[in-house]
């Protein structure tokens, strides 16, 4: 399609994932025992590894790692992106998510998107460094973020999930998955190009919007 902007080339994606991995994030999703803390690094390819296991809502835990990078990092100014843009998690599972926001800018959000919604406990933990928890740093547990201090959001409307992301931060939260299905996610902070910042990366799959598959 004329004028369509493709996803970053594979080498750029790999390079940025390596950068995020060096910061303790990356695009990953893997199964660990329920008493283990968040791992210190990603599992390859953003998918679970190892043999399949029986999943129940009382015992299953899945780890989801996301990184938010700037367009400059991707060689495409004005085009920030989530890595990975599309992700898969198991059904009927508690997902422990960690998002490393490497973007230092802020963007405008509509009323309501400053609220944490759909997470377990209705809250999230914030560390004020994109590299993750610093030595001796205790997380700040919040239910809302000032609208003037939001870089992006991770919003899955079908699931009632909304997580506002401060710039240069690491955010952790938990959510419960439903049965199998595909759900669109969208950043609701106007971080793109064009009128009001709602074009470009905001309307292109795999950048500031994508699919969360539950299977």
Distance, in Å, from the CA atom of 98 to the CA atom of 108, rounded to the nearest integer, reads: 23
Asked if 175 contacts 182 with a C-beta cutoff of 8 angstroms, the reply is no
Strands 81-83 and 61-69, sheet pairing: antiparallel
Listed residue (43, 124, 107) closest to 70, CA to CA: 107
In-domain check, residue 5:
no
Compute the distance between CA of residue 102 and CA of residue 89 in angstroms, rounded to an integer. 23
pLDDT by 10s per residue, the chain, length 215: 333 333 444 444 444 555 554 443 333 333 322 323 444 333 333 333 333 333 333 456 899 999 999 999 999 999 999 999 999 999 999 999 999 999 999 999 999 999 999 999 999 999 999 988 888 888 999 999 999 999 999 999 999 999 999 999 999 999 999 999 999 999 999 999 998 999 999 999 999 999 999 99
> Is 59 among the domain residues?
yes
- The β-bridge relationship of strands 161-165 and 169-176 is unpaired
Which residues sit opposite 37 in a β-bridge?
none
Task: Answer whether residue 71 is part of any domain.
Answer: yes
Number of domains the chain is built from: 1
User: Does a structural domain hold residue 4?
Assistant: no
Note whether residue 3 is domain-resident: no
Structural domain that includes position 30? 10-214
Rg, C-alpha atoms of the chain:
16
CA distance 169 to 133: 9
- CATH number assigned to the domain comprising residue 168: 2.60.40.420
Reported as a single tens digit per residue, the pLDDT across 21-32 is 444 333 333 332
| 193-206 pLDDT tens trace | 998 999 999 999 99
Please check whether residue 16 lies inside any domain of the structure.
Answer: yes
Which alpha helices (DSSP H) does the chain contain, by range? 10-22
Task: Give the span between the Cα atoms of 215 and 209, in whole angstroms.
Answer: 19
């Amino acid at each position: 399609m004329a004028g369509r902007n493709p996803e970053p080339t594979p080498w750029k994606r790999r390079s940025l994932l390596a950068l995020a991995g060096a910061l303790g994030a990356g695009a990953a999703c893997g199964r660990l025992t329920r008493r283990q803390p968040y791992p210190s690094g990603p599992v390859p390819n953003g998918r679970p590894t190892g043999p399949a296991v029986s999943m129940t809502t009382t015992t299953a835990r899945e780890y989801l790692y996301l990184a938010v990078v700037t367009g400059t990092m991707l060689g495409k100014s004005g085009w920030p992106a989530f890595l990975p843009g599309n992700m898969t998690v198991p059904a009927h599972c508690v997902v422990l998510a960690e998002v490393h926001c490497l973007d230092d800018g802020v963007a405008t959000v509509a009323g309501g998107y400053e609220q944490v919604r759909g997470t377990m406990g209705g809250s999230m933990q914030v560390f004020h460094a994109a590299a993750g928890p610093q030595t001796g740093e205790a997380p700040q547990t919040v239910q809302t973020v000032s609208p003037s201090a939001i870089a992006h959001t991770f919003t899955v409307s079908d699931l009632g999930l909304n997580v506002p992301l401060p710039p240069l931060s690491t955010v952790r939260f938990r959510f419960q998955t439903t049965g199998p299905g595909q759900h669109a996610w969208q950043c609701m902070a106007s971080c793109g190009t064009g009128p009001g910042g709602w074009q470009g990366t905001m309307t292109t799959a795999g950048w500031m919007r994508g699919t969360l598959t539950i299977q």
